[in-house]
Structures are given as C-alpha cells and as structure tokens.
C-alpha cells in the first residue's frame, strides 16, 4: 500500500458485485479499504468486506443494511 497524507480519513471501494436483483430489492458484495491518519504520523489501513442490501425507492437504488466485517488491518508510517 502507498502512503496517504491528504486527509484524516478516506474510504475506497475496491470491489463491487451485484449478486441479486428482484423487483425493488437486491444484494451486492462489497470490498473496501479505509485509511485513518493517526496523530503519531502513522496511517491505519483497514480492509472490510461483506454484503449490502439494495433497495429501490423513487426509481433510484440505495444501499441499506450494511453487514461489513473487518478482514485485515495494519499500520504504516506516513
């Protein structure tokens, strides 16, 4: 992973796969990495993955009921 210096906290979606869509409901699998800058000059990296329900409201798909689980975490110097 690279160094992150631009902000206190970032989240990057690294993988998204829609697995099911029926009428106004669906389900997607998501992987993401979060970056948190610590006061000691290090960055906490955390990887998350799991499923997220999709809900169609007013002709727009929205994300509902996240079920994220932490997969890994580590700290790097900035």
Residues 6+ apart with CB under 8 A from 46: 33, 34, 36, 70, 72, 73
- Look up the pTM and report it: 0.72
The torsion angles phi and psi of 7, rounded to 5 degrees, stand at -155, 170
pLDDT at 48: 95
Question: So where are the chain's domains?
Answer: 1-15+28-68
Q: What is the pLDDT of residues 12-66, one digit of tens each?
A: 999 999 988 998 999 999 999 999 999 899 999 999 999 989 999 999 988 887 7
Say yes or no to pLDDT of 5 above 60. Answer: no
């Amino acid at each position: 992973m690279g160094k992150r210096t631009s902000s206190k906290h970032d989240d990057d979606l690294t993988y998204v796969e829609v697995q099911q869509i029926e009428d106004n409901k669906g389900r997607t699998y998501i992987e993401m990495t979060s970056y948190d800058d610590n006061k000691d000059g290090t960055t906490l990296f955390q990887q998350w993955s799991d499923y997220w329900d999709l809900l169609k409201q007013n002709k727009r798909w929205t994300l509902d009921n996240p079920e994220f689980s932490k997969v890994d975490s580590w700290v790097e110097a900035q």
